[in-house]
Amino acid sequence: MSVHRKGPRWAVRYRDEAQRNRSRSFDRKGDADQFDAEITRRRQLGTIAQLHAGKQTLDEFVTQVWAPTHGITLAPKTRRDYAAFYDHHIAPTLGPVALKAITSEAVARWQADRLAAGAGPVALRRAFDLLGSVLQLAFEHERIQVNPVRRVRKARLPRRDEIQPLAPSLVERLRAAGSQRDAALMSGLRPGEALGLRWADVRENTLLVQRSIALGAEGDTKTSAHRTVRLLSPLRTDLDAWSVAQGRPSLDSLVFPGQTGEPWSLYAYQSWRRRAFDTARVAAGAPKATPYTLRHSFASLLLHEGRSVIYVARQMGHDARLTLTAYGHVIDELEDQPRVAAEEAIRQARVPSQFPGSDPASRLGGELNRGNPRSAAVLREVELAGLEPATSWVRSRHSPN
């Protein structure tokens, strides 16, 4: 720090908390000396950052503080998504604005202008939450006195249709239209979790879900919570057949590797979805199905078995409240219907000619009598309920979800 004459004025030169050179000029030397002493005091107390509180622009704060301290802790896919939301929705309007000038009114006007410009309400909601996160950190770092986003009402989201799981017969047609790998890739897991499976995770009665693939990199699961998922016998059979086709890979090998054994990249997943999954979807007559739809179908199969909300939530990897919100209408629909075992529903829906060795009598001990009127009635009940079988979902390669 130094006080020196600069023409008719007095200037104080100093370094801020980021070691950037700064200066401030005064008409009187006494004022310059007083400011110089204040800089010394704040440096000793560790509060020099407060000296410029609110003077940084939003862009500067995001680049210099939020990204290095908070953004770095996010998963790669989340960082990529946040960058897209910020660049597209926030930066053009609020990026050059000083933090102290971003008021609740400014945030409300920004949101209204984005909606008027045709921004999607769901994407805008995520951008709104991102802006709130950035300004909350600015508040915690004492750049601003209050987080203005907290005083603004979020724009209403559009009406969302309830989840409609696929019937077991439709799921099996979808699987039958794909390759052996693709048929095994379709289960109750998130796509990224399925692509993160290694053969050591495929156990006798469960799948151990402890990693996920996103943007071609292996990371933790979406919620960072590891879990075991029930391994239904049809899926176990499919995985065993896939292992044989792969030449019995080692336990540390990916169940669904890329062409050279590496995890799927985002491009590989998107290519698979367009060329393999969508082709199978059209062939099966499932116009609205996505790889994630099969996850909902797995949950519905468990509910049709009569499993509790807590059990289904554990299998899905989220909390019971979310399960009730997402599948409450399915639970109500199944209230007085006969319970149907998930494995039985899948076996009844499978087409033996398209899945060699999948006939219950030949490969699963013949627990079901396919000519039994009761079995046919069960199948009709499952289809009418709109449920899908917990198919070998594991085959849908990498999903970013």
Same domain? For 140 and 218 the reply is: no
202: which DSSP letter?
Answer: B
CB 205 within 8 A of CB 262: no
Same domain? For 212 and 334 the reply is: yes
Same domain? For 18 and 95 the reply is: no
Residue 389 lies inside a defined structural domain of this protein: no
For 318-356, the DSSP string reads S-HHHHHHHHHHHHHHTTTSPP--HHHHHHHH--TTTST
CB 171 within 8 A of CB 391: yes
Same domain? For 231 and 378 the reply is: yes
pLDDT reported for residue 25: 84
Which of 151, 185, 210 finishes a domain? Answer: 151
CATH number of the domain to which 323 belongs: 1.10.443.10
- SS3 percent helix, strand, coil of the chain, rounded to 5, is 50, 10, 40
pLDDT reported for residue 47: 65
Residue 161 lies inside a defined structural domain of this protein: no
Is the pTM of the predicted complex or chain greater than 0.85?
no
Same domain? For 47 and 190 the reply is: no
Q: How many whole angstroms separate alpha carbon 375 and alpha carbon 377?
A: 5
CB 163 within 8 A of CB 299: no
Residue 397 lies inside a defined structural domain of this protein: no
pLDDT reported for residue 382: 36
Residue 398 lies inside a defined structural domain of this protein: no
Same domain? For 39 and 184 the reply is: no
Residue 395 lies inside a defined structural domain of this protein: no
CB 349 within 8 A of CB 382: yes
Residue 322 lies inside a defined structural domain of this protein: yes
Domain count, the chain: 3
Nearest to 25 by CA among 42, 7, 10, 35: 10
Q: How many whole angstroms separate alpha carbon 277 and alpha carbon 263?
A: 18
pLDDT in tens, the chain (401 residues): 578 888 888 888 877 766 778 787 888 888 888 888 877 887 776 666 656 555 789 999 999 999 999 888 888 888 889 999 999 999 999 999 999 899 999 999 999 999 999 999 889 999 999 999 999 999 998 888 899 999 999 988 877 777 778 888 888 888 888 888 888 888 778 888 999 999 999 999 999 999 888 877 777 777 778 899 999 988 888 899 999 999 999 999 999 998 888 998 888 988 999 889 999 889 888 888 888 888 888 888 888 888 888 998 899 888 888 888 888 878 787 777 888 888 888 888 876 544 444 443 333 333 333 333 333 343 333 333 333 333 333 333 333 34
Residue 102 lies inside a defined structural domain of this protein: yes
Same domain? For 180 and 289 the reply is: yes
Q: What are phi and psi of 311, to 5 degrees?
A: -60, -45
Same domain? For 115 and 226 the reply is: no
Same domain? For 48 and 106 the reply is: no
Q: How many whole angstroms separate alpha carbon 213 and alpha carbon 227?
A: 16
Same domain? For 254 and 121 the reply is: no
CATH number of the domain to which 83 belongs: 1.10.150.130
Same domain? For 8 and 62 the reply is: no
Domain around 195: 168-384
Same domain? For 134 and 247 the reply is: no
Which of 151, 184, 212 finishes a domain? Answer: 151
- Specify the 3-state DSSP secondary structure of 218: strand
Residue 163 lies inside a defined structural domain of this protein: no
